[in-house]
């Protein structure tokens, strides 16, 4: 096929039948200009995915009309935001960016309550707010809202669509970018599409993977892993309503969508544009590694999964270019990197950094962290990491076994050690965590717990041990210092800024007790916020220390658009990296991952060239550099050099 000739011919035909009557002449010109720019790429991607189908052009024509309809419904305010973001496409790399992720009900009760908490967000410095799923979902267990029954209806417990629209406007006025989840791998079994499939409608049965018997599922199953083996075995569930087996990667009430059907791509694009038109500026792509199934493979990270995401991205560039994608790929580090591109996902969670921060706290050895970041931290200058220490989900030890092997570390054994350490089963551990997804076949598990409890604060308070508490507070501040300074958007999980401890009440709730992740899904009350202001408490020390770090980040552009170089300090417990901005300003960050004092060579760190370095976190001024720098337990130094380098 001559792609260039065919895309031109197809676009010409589509434009003759395209209904743009809802747009002004100026809007029509803008839409057609963007369509002309993006269509060659979009066409090539869709030909790769669906070009073998006889009805390909029908669905292509329908898709372009969907994009036109989405653009027409977009408000003038959002169209102005589109223009602003196109003029400054790297807005998410700014030093003012500071993210928070929260569940609406846990953080503020409902959407109206969250709007009332905007002053707290502003005071904290938040400019990016990720609201965990707030869509209509099944009563009881809904996988924390990730089983969506209606993308266009707010869950009744949280408020109304009008409340969400008002919140979106209020956040924008406060300078806070709204981030929503795009749960596009699956729907709940209560979604209208699934209900129609259960009722026997062929059209909607083709929206999912549904089979009359286990023969084909068993063939797929030979190569698939189990995600929640403690809940159920296998990746398929029997649906008695339709008398069919349904592909359900995560839970039996979450039905995987069938993207080999172009009708699914078009329908999900329509839902995506609805979310974009609510005013969000980023969509978190949930479970993106699983969206394409291929017999004989593990059905993760397939090439056409990337093609699908790039096609969705292209659709956004036409209808709502202010919106960017955030990758949620908790997979092998090499696979994570493949999703990061300005034409795929402009933002990406950094699960490798997260996992290795916790690894290094346990081992007090930075070699695996340093080597891994040297290999995997650098990404396209058009993109940005979203760096986090904890989130709503469990910790999976996603480091690269090949890199670990170079350090003499056996990946399998080391993961078992980390699981033992963070669930408090390892003698001498400071952590109070909970095992999640423990596989009865091999004893493997993942780890849950709040940041403060995993960092040792729960143990310190229970034992009334001042030293343990001091070390826990220092750990909490140190790990936050890394995500605030290493490059990208730092993302705080709601409650971590207040040093909230594990919440074990989920064990008494029948809809939650099987899912240990609820131990870290903690309500944030007014009393918690007030408690963080009480002097000389661990919570106050965390809150005030974090505010100091945040304030410094926002003062210096070197924390924003700057390159990052990971340094090997040749000292087991010390992690170091250098940020360099275009104007020559340089920042050297040094972190002691041990409860003991550490000394590190100034020459190794690059401090011996006669420049003046001022520590932003202490009175230390390095000029000329001493032979060695001494760091107190868990101390962080942010050495700023404003001289050209």
Phi/psi class of residue 606: alpha, beta or left (left: φ > 0; alpha: ψ in -120 to 50)?
left
> Crossing angle of helices 3-17/56-73, nearest 10°?
60
Q: How far apart are CA 388 and CA 350, in angstroms?
A: 7
Q: Are 519 and 394 in contact (CB under 8 A)?
A: no
SS3 644: coil
286 is catalytic: yes
Q: How far apart are CA 104 and CA 145, in angstroms?
A: 11
Question: 462-495 burial, b if ≥16 CB within 10 A, otherwise e?
Answer: eeeeeebbbbbbbbbbbbbbbbbbbbbbbbbbbb
- 129: enclosing H helix or E strand: strand 128-131
Q: How far is CA 601 from the centre of its chain?
A: 36
Catalytic residue among 105, 256, 286, 496: 286
Long-range contacts, 52-59 (Cβ 8 Å, 24+): 53/262, 55/262, 56/262, 57/10, 57/13, 59/262, 59/263, 59/265, 59/266
Nearest to 99 by CA among 496, 540, 578, 457: 496
Nearest to 197 by CA among 146, 272, 255: 255
* Tokens linked to 252: 């039996």
SS3 568: coil
**Four-residue CA torsion sign, 529, 534, 539, 544:** positive
C-alpha separations of 405 from 38, 332, 368, 372, 412 in Å: 44, 15, 10, 12, 11
Catalytic residue among 82, 281, 328, 341: 328
Q: How far apart are CA 619 and CA 615, in angstroms?
A: 6
Residue owning tokens 């743009």: 20
C-alpha separations of 313 from 344, 345, 372, 645 in Å: 6, 8, 29, 38
Q: Are 274 and 164 in contact (CB under 8 A)?
A: no
Cis peptide before 373 (omega within 30 of 0): no
328 is catalytic: yes
Cite the active site residues. Answer: 286, 328
């Amino acid at each position: 096929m001559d792609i260039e000739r065919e895309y031109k011919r197809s676009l010409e035909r589509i434009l003759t039948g395209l209904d743009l009557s809802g747009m002004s002449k100026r809007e029509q010109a803008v839409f057609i200009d963007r369509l002309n720019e993006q269509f060659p790429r979009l066409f090539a991607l869709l030909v790769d995915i669906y070009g073998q189908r006889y009805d390909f052009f029908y669905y292509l024509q329908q898709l372009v009309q969907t994009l036109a309809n989405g653009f027409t419904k977009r408000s003038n305010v959002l169209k102005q935001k589109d223009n602003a973001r196109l003029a400054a496409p790297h807005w998410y790399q700014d030093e003012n960016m500071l993210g928070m992720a929260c569940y609406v009900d846990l953080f503020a009760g409902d959407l109206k309550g969250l709007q009332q908490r905007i002053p707290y967000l502003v005071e904290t410095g938040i400019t990016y707010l990720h609201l965990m799923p707030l869509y209509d979902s099944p009563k009881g267990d809904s996988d924390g809202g990730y089983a969506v029954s209606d993308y266009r209806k707010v869950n009744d417990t949280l408020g109304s669509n009008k409340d969400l629209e008002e919140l979106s406007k209020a956040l924008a006025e406060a300078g806070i970018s709204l981030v929503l989840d795009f749960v596009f791998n699956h729907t709940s079994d209560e979604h209208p599409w699934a209900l129609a499939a259960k009722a026997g409608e062929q059209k909607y049965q083709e929206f999912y993977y549904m089979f009359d018997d286990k023969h084909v599922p068993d063939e797929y199953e030979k190569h698939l892993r189990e995600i929640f083996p403690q809940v159920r075995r296998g990746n398929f569930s029997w649906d008695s309503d339709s008398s069919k087996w349904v592909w359900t990667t995560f839970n039996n009430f979450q039905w995987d969508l069938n993207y080999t059907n172009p009708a699914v791509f078009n329908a999900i694009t329509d839902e995506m544009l609805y979310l974009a038109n609510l005013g969000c500026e980023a969509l978190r792509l949930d479970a993106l590694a699983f969206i394409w199934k291929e017999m004989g493979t593990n059905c993760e990270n397939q090439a056409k999964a990337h093609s699908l995401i790039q096609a969705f991205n292209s659709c956004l560039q036409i209808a709502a270019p202010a919106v960017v994608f955030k990758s949620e790929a908790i997979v092998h580090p090499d696979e994570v990197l493949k999703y990061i591109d300005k034409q795929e996902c402009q933002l990406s969670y950094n699960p490798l950094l997260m996992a290795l921060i916790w690894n290094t706290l346990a081992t007090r050895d930075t070699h695996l962290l340093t080597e891994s970041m040297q290999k995997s931290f650098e990404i396209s200058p058009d993109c940005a990491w979203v760096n986090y220490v904890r989130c709503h989900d469990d910790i999976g030890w996603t480091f690269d076994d090949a890199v670990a092997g170079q350090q003499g570390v056996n990946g399998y054994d080391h993961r078992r050690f980390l699981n033992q350490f963070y669930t408090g089963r390892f003698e001498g551990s400071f952590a109070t965590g909970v095992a999640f997804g423990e596989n009865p076949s091999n004893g493997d598990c993942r780890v849950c717990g709040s940041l403060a409890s995993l960092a040792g604060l729960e143990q310190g308070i229970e034992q009334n041990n001042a030293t343990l508490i001091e070390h826990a507070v220092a750990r909490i501040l140190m790990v936050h210092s890394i995500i605030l300074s290493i490059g990208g958007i730092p993302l705080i999980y709601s409650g971590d800024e207040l040093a909230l401890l594990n919440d074990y009440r989920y064990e008494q709730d029948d809809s939650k007790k099987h899912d240990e992740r609820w131990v870290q899904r903690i309500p944030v009350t007014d009393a918690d916020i007030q408690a963080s202001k009480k002097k000389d408490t661990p919570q106050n020390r965390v809150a005030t220390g974090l505010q100091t770090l945040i304030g410094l980040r926002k003062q210096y552009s070197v924390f924003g658009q700057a390159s990052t170089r990971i340094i090997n300090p040749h000292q087991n417990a010390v992690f170091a990296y250098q940020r360099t901005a275009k104007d020559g300003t340089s920042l050297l960050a040094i972190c002691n991952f041990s409860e003991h004092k550490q000394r590190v060579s100034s020459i190794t760190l690059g401090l011996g060239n006669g420049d003046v370095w001022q520590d932003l976190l202490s009175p230390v001024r390095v000029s000329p550099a001493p032979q060695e720098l001494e760091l107190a337990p868990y101390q962080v130094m942010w050495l700023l050099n404003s001289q050209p380098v």
